[in-house]
Amino acid sequence: MSRSSEWIEAFRGRKLVVFGDVMLDRYTFGDSTRISPEAPAPVFKAERVDAMIGGAGNVARNIVSLGGKAVLIGAIGADAAGRELQAAIEAEDGLSAALAINPDMRTAVKNRYVAKNQQMLRVDEEDVGDQPDSVVADMMSSLATALDGASALVISDYAKGVLTEDAIARACAIANDRNLPVVVDPKARDLSRYRGATVVTPNAKETEEATGQSCVSDTGAEAAARAIAQQVGCPMIVVTRGPQGMTVRNADDGITHLPTAAQEVFDVSGAGDTVVAALALGLGSGLAVEDAAELANRAAGVVVAKVGTATVSAAELHIAMHGTGPDGRLTVSLDGAVAATRAWQAQGQSVVFTNGCFDLLHPGHVSLLGFAREQGDKLIVAINSDASVKRLKGSSRPVQDEDSRALVMEALRFVDLVVIFDEDTPLEAITAIQPDVLVKGADYKPGEVVGGDVVTGRGGRIALAPLVDGHSTTAAIARANGPENV
């Protein structure tokens, strides 16, 4: 097992406490194809609504999805949104909460409207202001209890009023007394209010506002990180710089610059939450800040390729770092293939996709796969599930079950990853993976290739593999069943 595999495995079951502004993230997905006759505004046709735990709660969700356990401390209103939020928390395995109730506030809700993966509008419902003393006392009591047996404290500031300067100081003091690392995702312009933290993780904009120093260059980011360390009295700083990656300042004033692990960015919502969750899990597991930041950087690269306030799983993170699942297999979930693709593309590698049933592998298949491998740096092969093969080929097929076919495919030197899909076509897999090259046999015309428009629409290409005459699975099965069937 590699070192980074051991790091990710160390996350399993590790308890972290998250203290901060909790909110409900509501996404309304739909379409917009015309302008309103009433005003110069798009008409949005709603199709479905998804709601999930947001704000500090999304940090907690990421901790859980990465294999840890999280206790969420914050405040909500005595309203329908608060009850919906608590129900969502109860439904998450590994996540618990001790939320103080403030009857005089509304539970914060962010309403996002998304058409074709593009966010069109966000509508916020919230009451911003410091919490009353009674609510702060409830939260402090819950925090002290929750930190028993914990490995780290995360302070997630969304500037909604839960994290007053006094509340932050008291939370840091409780954690410091227990020798627990404190990881802060800041929001305030004055970063000195986070004094007592182990590591502060400002983004480029927050860093520039706090220091007046641009973070576009590595030199500027390095100077800014050191200025923040002096400002806050904090031993470690991680500046998240978007396309420029991360700059990490360790407790000995050493600087490390990490290039971005993201290439295809669909939605940055919650990316900072993912960074903080992975970083805190790493530090809570005893990793050096540079190693924890490397994991956090890779995790962020996965999550920005998703739509909505998303999380990244331990398996996805492992695949993004190693190109295999945690079990060493090349057969991974669709999310895992997406994670690996984003990691490869961020490194400048081109990803090739091909698909088929691949039931009884024959020289024609080998020729197709060899051709596909020559078209780029990495090859993902999508194979039809057993149910999909039966629908396409009849009740007597497949001859080999999907796991057997996947194992055979993994053994071929051409193949980097295998995905099993259950639909009749690979369109859903192609749309999610977004490969650079799509390969099919030359018996297709480019306009007939399923998913071809998805690939060419983002600047990719279709490649048609030469056919090998005299080889087919159907013919091989017929020969095996006797000369009369040939």
What does DSSP assign to residue 475?
Answer: H
Please give the average per-residue pLDDT across 414-440, as a whole number. 94
Angstrom distance (rounded) from CA 143 to CA 19 = 8
pLDDT-derived band at 305 (thresholds 50, 70, 90) equals: low
CA 154 to chain centre: 19
For 373-394, the DSSP string reads: HTTSSEEEEEEE-HHHHHHHH-
Question: Cα-atom radius of gyration of the chain, to the nearest Å?
Answer: 25
Fill in the DSSP letter of residue 315: H
pLDDT at 17: 98
SS3 237: strand
Whether 289 contacts 307, CB under 8 Å: no
| 16 and 307 Cβ atoms separated by less than 8 Å | no
Per 3-state DSSP, the chain is made up of helix, strand and coil in percentages (nearest 5) of: 40, 25, 35
Strands 437-441 and 351-356: parallel
Measured in degrees and rounded to the nearest 5, phi and psi for residue 56 equal -60, -30
**Mean pLDDT value across residues 34-51:** 94
pLDDT 10s digits, 389-423? 999 988 888 889 999 999 999 889 889 999 999 99
Q: What pLDDT does 469 receive?
A: 67
- Give the residue numbers annotated as catalytic, written as ranges: 273
Domain limits, the chain: 3-312, 349-485
Residue 1 has pLDDT above 50, yes or no: no
DSSP SS3 for 114: strand
Q: How far is CA 220 from CA 35, 207, 249, in A?
A: 44, 10, 13
pLDDT reported for residue 135: 95
pLDDT at 482: 57
Q: What is the mean pLDDT of the chain?
A: 89
pLDDT in tens, 337-357: 887 888 788 767 899 999 999
Summarize the confidence of residues 257-274 as an average pLDDT. Answer: 66
> Topology of domain 3-312, per CATH?
UDP-N-acetylmuramoyl-L-alanine:D-glutamate ligase (3.40.1190)
Pick the CATH number of 349-485 from 3.30.420.140, 3.40.50.620, 3.20.20.140, 2.60.40.10: 3.40.50.620
Structure confidence at residue 302 (pLDDT): 79
Q: Which amino acid is at 150?
A: A
Mean pLDDT computed over 185-191: 90
- For 98-137, how does the pLDDT look when each residue is reduced to its tens digit (9 = 90+)? 999 999 999 999 999 999 878 899 999 999 999 999 999 9
pLDDT digits (tens, 9 = 90+) for 306-333: 655 577 877 778 777 777 776 678 898 8
Confidence of residue 263 (pLDDT cuts 50, 70, 90): very low
Task: Determine the Cα–Cα distance for residues 2 and 427; give it in Å rounded to an integer.
Answer: 34
**In angstroms, rounded to a whole number, what is the distance separating the alpha carbons of residues 119 and 306?**
13
Q: What is the DSSP string of 30-54?
A: EEEEEE-SSSSSEEEEEEEEEEEEE
Instruction: Give the β-pairing of 42-55 and 255-258.
Output: unpaired
Query: Can you read off the two tokens belonging to residue 281?
Result: 């899990």
Residues 6+ apart with CB under 8 A from 30: 44, 45, 46, 47, 48, 113, 114, 115
How does pLDDT run across 204-242, given as a tens digit for each residue? 999 999 999 999 999 999 999 999 999 999 999 999 998
Distances 242 to 107, 119, 127, 224, 239 between C-alpha atoms, Å: 30, 19, 30, 15, 9
